[in-house]
Structure 1
């Protein structure tokens, strides 16, 4: 809204808009190489010790030779969109206008595709920089129905993934997420309510509620992300697309009686292996 070529001075424009003059000149700085290295290490530690908060992660990093304070670790965790996963009292209040829905999947047997879908976001490290990956997953078959990459944690890329999943695979009975701001946003909720989907949200810090999506992130990162350091967002998008085709169509799951997610979702039998 600030026009550097306007007849009004920048100071008067800032005053008219009710913003500080300093913000007019602020340019966001990308994370330093040292911070990116720390974020990549924090990401791995978070996968191995999801219950670790900033204090524990600081201790683990210091033990590895990284000199970093707890507050800086907490800042990087917020930037990455991660937090310690453990059950604790929910004393936080939702943003005004953002409704938090109850958890609907506790003790509910999920016995068929499209009975329940889940969605989550994870930090995706690259050789230089990072992006965020959001995915819609069928709870029964573990099939990834739609996904998107984004350089910010806005709700728009999550909504795009949901809209694609609804258009391609129909409507689930229940859609489960955590209580992240992307999933409690008015536009995201409207996308689901317009499709007449029941909305379910994990209890804050209740890691068991969405644990299999956390397992999906661990699988993707250890089998793809950490083996191939992508150098750009297009390269990361191509790599994730390639891996998720493999994940859905060829990778068997022990929890699915060694079926692939595609076989479980589309109710097709396992292939018969020829005798050696």
Structure 2
């Protein structure tokens, strides 16, 4: 759980625990409680929308190159601000690096199980990821669970925070509707390494796999889904609120799943997709 999410657990009128002690237990800085972060201003939202457009088109852009591109468009912005906005959006450059997503302290990390595996049948491997969606005067996060063999979206949820509950809700729906996969693969994000998420998988006997160092190419697969969704629906429609976005995404995913009904084989190797 992120620091903003943990701050939401604080109780200022708690009978026996002071604010100081609650901050210690939740590993939250007291300064962030007494002086809450300022809400995003209109300029931040405009920048986040543009960063999302650039990142969707070129997901290998890091903060340095993103800053250069924004400045070339006439936007005076420094790299530190771009880094802050990219962290808030939950995005990082797609490419080989020591660690792209950091798990929360104390969360168990599972080994990567897909190396050299031929994935050629439904319910063999599922995967999940989270993306940022610009909506009206704000933004939402979307989690999707996909079947690697068919490319079908099995379940999804929208949320206004990067918490764990909406990921678990999507997982429970996918399991209820489609049974269970042999392997479930994710990155090492705190939502997917949480006890609630991994516990739901373990309880059904699913083997858990997590991307490790050098596994950036596996993210390319679901990035195609995000790119198609944003360019074919989100950017074109410009939804004003979450209700409109949810209805539009329902229609688009139904269309996408119909279009993806074809035989597909995915071989996980070091440098080859086929």
TM-score by length of 1: 0.83
Is the 2:143–2:157 Cα contact (8 Å) retained in structure 1? yes
- 1:40-189 paired onto structure 2 within 5 Å: 40-90=49-99, 94-189=103-198
1:97–1:88 Cα change, 3 Å: same
1:54–1:42 Cα change, 3 Å: same
Bigger Rg over Cα: 1
Which stretch of structure 1 is more off in the superposition, 163-172 or 236-245? 236-245
Aligned residues: 250
Is the 2:147–2:154 Cα contact (8 Å) retained in structure 1? yes
- 1:213-232 paired onto structure 2 within 5 Å: 213-232=222-241
1:14 equivalent in alignment to 2:23: no
Q: CA deviation at 1:158?
A: 0.4
Consecutive unaligned residues of structure 2, counting only runs of 5 or more, are 1-10, 265-274
* Aligned residue in 1 for 2:255: 246
Is the 2:101–2:188 Cα contact (8 Å) retained in structure 1? no
Task: String of CA shifts for 1:176-227, please: whole Å, max 9, x gaps.
Answer: 1111110111111101111110111112563211311110000000000000
1:102–1:175 Cα change, 3 Å: same
Q: CA deviation at 1:32?
A: 1.1
* Aligned residue in 2 for 1:271: none
* Aligned residue in 1 for 2:12: 2
Q: CA deviation at 1:160?
A: 0.4
* Aligned residue in 1 for 2:40: 31
Is the 1:42–1:57 Cα contact (8 Å) retained in structure 2? yes
Is the 2:101–2:187 Cα contact (8 Å) retained in structure 1? no
Whole-angstrom distance in 2 between the partners of 1:122 and 1:80: 8
Q: CA deviation at 1:92?
A: 8.7
Structure with greater contact order relative to length (CA < 8 Å, sep ≥ 6): 2
1:148–1:46 Cα change, 3 Å: same
User: What CA RMSD, in Å, does the superposition of the two structures yield over aligned residues?
Assistant: 2.5
1:21–1:118 Cα change, 3 Å: closer
Whole-angstrom distance in 2 between the partners of 1:87 and 1:23: 33
Is the 1:138–1:145 Cα contact (8 Å) retained in structure 2? yes
TM-score by length of 2: 0.83
Consecutive unaligned residues of structure 1, counting only runs of 5 or more, are 252-259, 266-276
Which stretch of structure 1 is more off in the superposition, 132-141 or 209-218? 209-218
Whole-angstrom distance in 2 between the partners of 1:85 and 1:129: 25
Q: CA deviation at 1:3?
A: 3.1
Task: String of CA shifts for 1:117-156, please: whole Å, max 9, x gaps.
Answer: 0100000111210000000000000000000000000011
Q: CA deviation at 1:159?
A: 0.5
Is the 1:175–1:198 Cα contact (8 Å) retained in structure 2? yes
